[in-house]
């Protein structure tokens, strides 16, 4: 009986350890400021694309949190800082850094790790030279989930056709925040979609719409 109880206890401990190991790493971001910063007209004047970033110059979580909130956070109970068609909110923002790939959970204002290694190189195409990508400490990857929003006659999602337009709203929010905070950024439409989708472990209903590098300009 004692041996049986010991076996059950060990089994429960092993199971608990396994469940604990399976839980994703979560980074709770500092609360983002919702006021202040550069005046809008000044930010529009300063907005530009940057392809020269300082190496080994990370973006602090407080600044990253403000960037993500400005890009795609909740500014009202169920509405966000950027519009989407029929309010489908079909987009997700992934954050690629040296310490892995992270999904931005806007409701909790947190990062959830989806890959535990640096996959920024998965955004590069073999025939297009973009050396600045690995200098920028952060690459935002915009991903559409086609299952969100209204369905067509075949029962499948139809929101995907608006994903490119909606992504533009998010990317411009990121541009304006970067201008205000002194960060550099550039959007990138050239990336290997299948390679990147595999690296991010996306499912068949998800697809990448755009990449955007962010870092401190030289």
Tens of pLDDT, residue by residue over 164-173, are 999 999 999 9
- Measure CA 146 to chain center: 17
Q: What is the pLDDT of residue 7?
A: 44
CA-to-CA distance for 68 and 18, rounded, in angstroms?
Answer: 32
Q: What is the pLDDT of residue 172?
A: 98
Q: Spell out, as residue ranges, where the chain has pLDDT lower than 50.
A: 2-3, 6-11, 13-17, 19
Q: Are 146 and 205 in contact (CB under 8 A)?
A: yes
How is residue 21 written in tokens? 């190991």
The β-bridge relationship of strands 110-115 and 138-145 is unpaired
Question: 24-215 architecture in CATH?
Answer: 3-Layer(aba) Sandwich (3.40)
Q: What 8-state DSSP symbol labels residue 60? A: P
Q: What is the pLDDT of residue 22?
A: 78
Strands of 138-145's sheet in order across: 26-28, 110-115, 100-105, 91-97, 138-145, 206-215, 184-188
Q: Which helix (H) or strand (E) holds 94?
A: strand 91-97
* Burial of 191 (C-beta count, 10 Å sphere; 0-12/13-18/19+): buried
Q: What is the pLDDT of residue 13?
A: 46
pLDDT 10s digits, 87-103: 999 999 999 999 999 99
Q: Are 95 and 62 in contact (CB under 8 A)?
A: no
CA-to-CA distance for 118 and 23, rounded, in angstroms?
Answer: 19
Q: What is the pLDDT of residue 154?
A: 78
CA-to-CA distance for 99 and 83, rounded, in angstroms?
Answer: 30
Q: What is the pLDDT of residue 155?
A: 73
Q: Are 174 and 70 in contact (CB under 8 A)?
A: yes
């Amino acid at each position: 009986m004692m041996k049986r109880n010991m076996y059950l206890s060990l089994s429960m401990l092993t199971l608990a350890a396994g469940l604990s190991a399976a839980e994703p790493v979560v980074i709770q971001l500092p609360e983002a400021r919702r006021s202040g910063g550069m005046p809008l007209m000044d930010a529009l004047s300063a907005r530009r694309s940057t392809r020269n970033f300082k190496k080994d110059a990370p973006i602090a979580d407080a600044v990253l949190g403000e960037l993500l909130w400005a890009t795609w956070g909740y500014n009202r109970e169920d509405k966000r800082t950027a519009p989407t068609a029929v309010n489908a909110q079909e987009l997700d923002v992934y954050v690629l850094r040296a310490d892995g790939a992270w999904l931005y959970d806007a409701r909790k204002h947190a990062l959830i790790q989806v890959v535990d290694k640096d996959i920024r190189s998965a955004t590069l195409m073999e025939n297009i030279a973009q050396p600045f990508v690995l200098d920028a400490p952060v690459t935002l990857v915009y991903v559409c989930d086609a299952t969100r929003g209204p369905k067509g006659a075949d029962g499948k999602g139809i929101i995907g056709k608006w994903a490119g337009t909606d992504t533009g709203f998010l990317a411009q929010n990121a541009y304006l925040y970067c201008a205000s905070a002194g960060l550099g950024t550039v959007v990138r439409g050239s990336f290997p979609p299948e390679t990147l989708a595999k690296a991010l472990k996306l499912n068949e209903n998800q697809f990448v719409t755009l990449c955007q590098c962010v870092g401190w300009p030289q």
